[in-house]
Structures are given as structure tokens and as C-alpha cells.
Structure 1
Amino acid sequence: MQPSPINSPLTAPAGATPPVIRLANIEKVYQTKTIETIALSEVNLSIARGEFVSVMGPSGCGKSTLLSLMGLLDEPSSGTIEIDGRPVTSYSDKELAGLRNHKIGFVFQSYHLINDLSVRDNVELPLLYRPGVSGAERRKRALAALDQVGLNARTNHFPAQLSGGQRQRVAIARALAGRPEIILADEPTGNLDSVMGEEIMDLLLGLNRDQGTTLVMVTHDEQQALKTQRLIRFFDGRQVA
């Protein structure tokens, strides 16, 4: 007998706002001919709209896999992922790509900037894949995002001409240019010294506080994690706290 919608763990109570991200009974298994690796197991997790959540755990515990699933860059082996109360399996491939492009921004530890492109062109790049955004609008959004992260004087520089902290700011500006509701950050301060790390963390906290951006951040830095609204811990692919 199928559970009623009211009792389903994937259905918000009547009148309630559904979580912006919900993972239910998630398992992710990587298989080769000789070995099976369980990256995530029995993960049940909800992220509220406007929440800033940090995820901690030892290397190899599944943190980056978790972000990939939340960002719709990968699919679980089993379980259900919902965005705004709708299972992602109900989206077509085209709708899924549009959802990633419009709703989710990514910030990576290693920046993922293209060295042959200027700072402004790097920030504009994801908008090239968004229908209906003109070249003038891309430029306007890129410049506004760079101003927001304090790099309006560096728009014509190239990544090799920037410090690590500045490159991370460019990566954040690239995420912001798409005006996402959700930012997923994988070790955003991991390659930075303590001073630059504090600056990037303050920037992320400001985005959450002032714009209501939902953030999920993977980190090894307990001090940074404790500044967020909620700390989730993983160990061997399972949520332990």
C-alpha cells in the first residue's frame, strides 16, 4: 500500500514552505569491475530556504559527492532529490540543465577559472548558456558581480595576475552573476591563508545575511563552520551529526 501524501517524508505539511533542497534515503555507489565503493548511504537531509549550512568530515567521507548531488551534477544510485518540493526525476534533461543554470551557483576550491579569459569574461561565461541574456546584459551582470566582491578594478586582468584570494572572489562573482538562489561551495577557503580565508568567509556570510542566499559549504575549517547556522558532520558516507 502506498503511503499517503501527508505522511510522505518528501511532502511538506499543508501550508508549509518546502525546503529548497531535500535528500531522502540517498545512496551513492561507485562500481568498477573489481570493487564497489559506497560514497553515501542513508542520507536524509533538508536545507531550508535562506539557510547557511556547513558540512564537515574527514577526506573521502562523501562531502564533495553530497554537493555534486545537491547541485544536480550527478545522480544518486537510489533515493530521491527534491528542489523546491519537486523531485528532480520529474524534470527533462533540458529542464534539469536550466535548473542548474538559473538556480544554483558553484564555488570550487581550485577556482576553475580559464587562464586565457579576462576576469570579466570568466564571470560572464555561465551566462552564455542562458537563453535570452544579451551580450550587454551579460556584461552588466558581470561588472555588477565583480563590484559586489570588490574587484571592479580588476575586470580586464587575467587569473594569473591575481592572488589566490582574488581568484576565489572571481569564482564567487561568477556564481553571483547568474543570480542563483543557492550557492554550493566546496572548500572555498581551503587554498587560502587565514587572512584571505576570513575575507572570503565574510563575503559568503554577507550574501546569506543581506540577500537571503541559501549556502551549503563543505569545509575542513571548524572555526569557519561554526560561523554558519548549522553544522552537519559526515563519516564514511553517513551523516553522524
Structure 2
Amino acid sequence: MIKLNKVSKTYRTDKVETLALRDIDLHVREGEFVAMMGPSGCGKSTLLNIIGLLDRPGQGSVEIGGVSMKGHGDRQLAALRNRTFGFIFQSFHLIPDLRVIDNVELPLLYRSGGGAERRRLAREALEKVGLGARMDHYPNQLSGGQQQRVAIARAIVGQPKILLADEPTGNLDSKMGEEVMDILLKLNGEGTTVVMVTHDEQEARRTNRIVRVFDGQLVTPEHLHAA
């Protein structure tokens, strides 16, 4: 499903060169739930961005679904990203002036299909995360946990094969964080591949496998079965 081969990434400014990733080999199988862990600044988010085609590697190759991303232009990558991935971030990135259902519909604006179909898919996604009754609310009328569930609905509205989550419970208390993890585990159980960056060891141990990143490199991965 996801295959990285010898991926490296260096960021350069006029005075400083920073090696963010070095010789990353990573294979995520279809239907897997993988947690990425490591100290702040170790390269986890950079790695997630490269997997999600938000950034390009400096060296090495990325394959998604058996297809190499080498030679793809920006427009091709954007279209593939929209069809293949759903993104969940620590900050919910909801638009405050839009109702919940309008926020969820946003990824579908870049696809073919009419307004009625977009609205139907958005309703289904909100019902899936338990917010069917809140679709006409605005983000500031919701709790933090509810806002993150809206963000998950937005991520899954296009029925992506892969969910990428960067600290999805980082801004939530433990109870709300557990609810969000339960939703991610349910989606994974339904067949969605999930790659999640987290600092929470307890959350990570609920996934299938933990990949540890340190100073831009993968250290020995820890294989675990979901609890």
C-alpha cells in the first residue's frame, strides 16, 4: 500500500542545512494501523508529509498502491492525494464561518459530482462519527472532541484508502482522546489503512505496529497486536 525506499530529505536555507530524514525504508500494508513515535523534531511529521504527497523526498522513492510517484507533476499528485488520502491534524483546521456539514464537504469540491451528492456523503460521514445531529452547528458551538470528530468526518468523506493522522488527540483530554482513538480503530477495522503520529505510548499500543523515529532515521520497529 505504502512503500518508501531509501527516502532522505534535507531542508536548506542560505546559512543552514538540516537533514530531516535519512535512508528511510518503510512498508505499510493495506489495512494496517501504524503508529509513528519519537521525540519532537525527529522527522515524524516530515515523514508523514512525504507519505501523504504533501512534500517530495530529496532522495529515494515513494510508491502508493504499487505506483511510483517519480515523474508525477504537482497537479497529478494533488489529484491522487485527494482520491487516496484523508488528513487529520492536531489543530482541527475547521473554517469557523462555515457550518459543520459545509466544512465536511470541502474535499469533495475538488471532485466531479453535484451538490446533492456532496451533501449526502457529508451527512453519512458525520453520522459515522456520531455527529449527525450537529451538522448545522458552527465549530465554535462544539467541544474540542466534537471538532476533531468533524475533522475526521472531513477526512473520510471522500472514502480514502489511507488516513494520515498527525497527533490527532494532542489537543484533547484523555476521555475525548480515547473517543477519537475508538473512531480511528473502527475505521481501520472497516478496512482503512491508518498511519498516526503520536507521543502517547498507550494509544500507540492499541495499533498494529509501532515505528520509532530518532534523528531522522527509523530505529527497530516494534510489532504489536491491537489490544
TM-score (norm 2): 0.95
Q: What's the Cα RMSD here? A: 0.8
Superimposed CA distance per residue, residues 207-239 of structure 1 (whole angstroms, 9 cap, x where no aligned partner)? 011x21000000000000000000000111110
Cα offset for 1:89? Answer: 1.4
Superimposed CA distance per residue, residues 72-122 of structure 1 (whole angstroms, 9 cap, x where no aligned partner)? 000011110001111111434332211100110000000111011110000
Cα distance between partner residues in 2 of 1:100 and 1:134: 21
1:201 counterpart residue number: 181
After the TM superposition, which residues 14-53 of structure 1 pair with which residues of structure 2 at under 5 Å, given as runs? 20-53=1-34
Asked if residue 103 in structure 1 is aligned to residue 84 in structure 2, the reply is yes
Secondary structure of 2:199's counterpart equals: coil
Superimposed CA distance per residue, residues 153-210 of structure 1 (whole angstroms, 9 cap, x where no aligned partner)? 110111111110000000000011010000000000111000001000011001011x
Cα distance between partner residues in 2 of 1:93 and 1:163: 36
Secondary structure of 1:89's counterpart equals: coil
Secondary structure of 2:156's counterpart equals: helix
Cα distance between partner residues in 2 of 1:225 and 1:201: 10
2:120 counterpart residue number: 140
Cα distance between partner residues in 1 of 2:78 and 2:14: 31
Asked if residue 64 in structure 1 is aligned to residue 45 in structure 2, the reply is yes
Asked if residue 179 in structure 1 is aligned to residue 159 in structure 2, the reply is yes
Q: Tell me which of 118, 129, 132 is aligned to 2:110.
A: 129
The one-letter amino acid of 1:170's match is V
Q: Tell me which of 198, 212, 224 is aligned to 1:233.
A: 212
Asked if residue 188 in structure 1 is aligned to residue 149 in structure 2, the reply is no
Question: Percent identity of the aligned residues?
Answer: 61
For structure 2, the 5+ residue unaligned runs are 221-227
Q: Tell me which of 52, 55, 61 is aligned to 1:74.
A: 55
Superimposed CA distance per residue, residues 114-167 of structure 1 (whole angstroms, 9 cap, x where no aligned partner)? 01111000000110011x221111000000000000001110111111110000
The one-letter amino acid of 1:221's match is D
Larger Rg over CA atoms: 1
Secondary structure of 2:70's counterpart equals: helix
Secondary structure of 2:10's counterpart equals: strand
Cα offset for 1:66? Answer: 0.6
Secondary structure of 2:168's counterpart equals: coil
1:162 counterpart residue number: 142
The one-letter amino acid of 1:70's match is I
The one-letter amino acid of 1:120's match is I
Stretches of 4+ moved more than 6 A in 1?
none
Cα distance between partner residues in 1 of 2:66 and 2:158: 22
Secondary structure of 1:190's counterpart equals: coil
